[in-house]
Structure 1
Amino acid sequence: MALGTVPATAQDQIDGKPNLNGVWQVMNNANWNLEPHSAASNPVADRLLGAIGAIPAGLGVIEGGEIPYNDAAQERLAAHKENVIYHDPEAACYLPGIPRATYMPYPFQIIQGNNDDILMVYEYASANRVVHMQEVGIPPIDTWMGTSYGQWEGDTLVVTTLALGPGLVKLPAGEMVEGVTWLDRAGNYLTNHATVVERFTLAEGGNHIDYEATIEDPTIYTRPWTISMPLYRRVEDNAQLLEFKCVPFSEQLLYGDLIEDQGAE
């Protein structure tokens, strides 16, 4: 199946397993905040953006309603919340990591073949990951998208992702910090010690996936916790991923001071 062309409805099984091929997208506000939240003003400049930049309300997607941070994690969480635009990797067009890539407000495509690894391709920043259909291993290095291992448990695709860590990250004005994976625009996060276990279960009818992800990271959480949501199949005849290469949109944020200095010379 060529990238960009997908069936409108679920087809026959592949090697006896559900066929997850297609373009999928969430219909929720999890990328703004995984926890329940009210609508709010834009954190940067209402005078410039008005209601266009406002934060939409959300019921939340977390079992139990909140993320169980430990005391040690609160300081960094507070720093994120004070800098929700300038520190968010999404604003800088960095790769989103897992599970955030799944519920960003852009479609993504699953490409599943016969008895082979599974590819997931995301419209945002041309991100992608290979789900290695094998036993969970030890990733050689940390990366923005981590390393994913998949297995079928009955008709459910279970994906375990490890080694989610961007390393040093450049913030606006040139500051370098040890990066972590942000989970939403509210500053919730996980570290490179996290294990993320996702479950993709194709629902009856084939046009939505029951999705859940359990996150365990004993360095910042008191216990594992789980999010869940449906992923909806894009059923229009021309459903496809369009180009959203966001690097040019982030240059002023990251390098605006340097660009302005060069223009003054």
Structure 2
Amino acid sequence: MYFPVLAISAWALLAQNSGTITGTVTDVYGGVLGKAAIQATNVATKAVFKAESSATGAYTLAQLPAGTYDLSATVTGMARFEQKNIAVGVAHTVQLNIKVNDFSLNTVGEDRQFFEGLTTRHKTPAGPTPRMANGKPDLSGVWLGTFLQDSGKPELTPSAQAIVNERAANHLKDVPSSRCQPNGITLFGVIFTYRVVQTPDYLVMIAEHDQPPRQIFMDGRSHPKNLDPTWLGHSVGHWEGDTLVVDTVGFNGRAWIDLEGHPFTERTHITERYRRPDLGHLEVEFTIDDPSSYVKPWTIKRISDLAPKGEEVAEYVCTENNKDVPHLVGK
């Protein structure tokens, strides 16, 4: 009968020894931004605390142990917000209103609503995992743009941190896709529809975005000894139970890991794990290993919804209507 009292006492003690960061998230014109992903990282302990802004733009990070925090805010279609060295004291509330810059043109098809529509989850068909004749899961199908489940927590080397800082200061205007160059494999299928074609020996991915097809060799071959570095690298795959494990090396270092500007290099080594837990979903984990950029390997998790029947991968020719470049703003 004393347990509730002990629980209340423990909660009260935690509250007394912690602080809060709270505020609202808006664009530079004062428009409220809901569903912003807020993350505060304790500088000393590296502990991460997360929150999401409400429909009114309000957010609260409560019960933060006293200390110094680096805070970031991510909104689809907007530039990433960062503020470092926020001091949080015991029983202290820090009021931090976040203003997020918009790096799109805000014309039809290039506005926040466009990105929000593309990143809204869809109703998917129910059913068991389809399988190939050999009993392995069949990953084939037309898939809607991937959703980020976990962006990972990379620890950057000084050189990689300098690259990320420079790209952020330039409002990410140098992202390769802004100049009709390919995205990296970690951004393959992000936002736009893509198709997976699977055979026992090969898996091919075709993206609607202006990107070369991706080949994953599953016929038992190894990586060539003398690889010609490319945007997508060289990929070989094998099955571990119902998980397709893909090993990729041979990058040219020109792509970006994500839209936060984390870099590839020619030393980047990526391991992917694909799972189809049911008919309507495709899960993938990317583990990035690159000692020249990251202190230790880190993992990004994404999931895709199966597209409705009749959905196809449309033709997309970036160079026919690429008018963004003269309007991109940076230093």
TM-score (norm 1): 0.68
Q: CA deviation at 1:184?
A: 2.5
Give me the identity figure in percent: 27
CA change 1:62–1:85 in 2 (3 A) is: closer
Q: Distance in 1 between matches of 2:174 and 2:196?
A: 30
RMSD between superposed Cα atoms in Å: 2.4
One-letter amino acid of the counterpart of residue 171, structure 2: V
Q: CA deviation at 1:252?
A: 6.4
User: In the alignment, which residue of structure 1 is the partner of 2:284?
Assistant: 211
Match of 1:119 among 199, 204, 218: 204
One-letter amino acid of the counterpart of residue 136, structure 2: K
Q: CA deviation at 1:212?
A: 0.6
Q: Distance in 1 between matches of 2:132 and 2:217?
A: 19
Q: Give 1:70-109 correspondences, 5 Å limit.
A: 70-102=157-189, 104-109=190-195
SS in 1 for 2:178: coil
Residues 69-78 or 244-253, more deviating? 244-253
CA change 1:12–1:221 in 2 (3 A) is: closer
User: In the alignment, which residue of structure 2 is the partner of 1:130?
Assistant: 215
Match of 2:306 among 202, 221, 233: 233
Checking the alignment, whether the CA contact within 8 Å between 2:284 and 2:303 is kept in structure 1 is yes
Q: Give 1:1-265 correspondences, 5 Å limit.
A: 11-26=130-145, 28=147, 30=148, 61-63=150-152, 66-102=153-189, 104-113=190-199, 115-133=200-218, 134-138=220-224, 140-165=227-252, 180-203=254-277, 205-234=278-307, 236-250=308-322, 253=325
Q: CA deviation at 1:216?
A: 0.2
One-letter amino acid of the counterpart of residue 304, structure 2: L
Q: CA deviation at 1:72?
A: 2.3
Q: Distance in 1 between matches of 2:146 and 2:271?
A: 21
CA change 1:19–1:86 in 2 (3 A) is: same
Checking the alignment, whether the CA contact within 8 Å between 1:126 and 1:243 is kept in structure 2 is no
Gaps of 5+ in 1: 1-7, 31-59, 167-179, 257-265
Gaps of 5+ in 2: 1-124
Q: Distance in 2 between matches of 1:136 and 1:223?
A: 25
SS in 2 for 1:149: strand
Structure with more strand by fraction: 2
Q: CA deviation at 1:122?
A: 0.8
The structure whose Rg is larger is 2
Residues 222-231 or 125-134, more deviating? 125-134
Q: Distance in 2 between matches of 1:252 and 1:237?
A: 33
Checking the alignment, whether the CA contact within 8 Å between 1:164 and 1:191 is kept in structure 2 is yes
Larger relative CO (CA 8 A, sep 6+): 1 or 2? 1
Q: Distance in 1 between matches of 2:222 and 2:145?
A: 27
Q: Distance in 2 between matches of 1:111 and 1:97?
A: 19
Q: Distance in 2 between matches of 1:181 and 1:212?
A: 18
TM-score (norm 2): 0.56
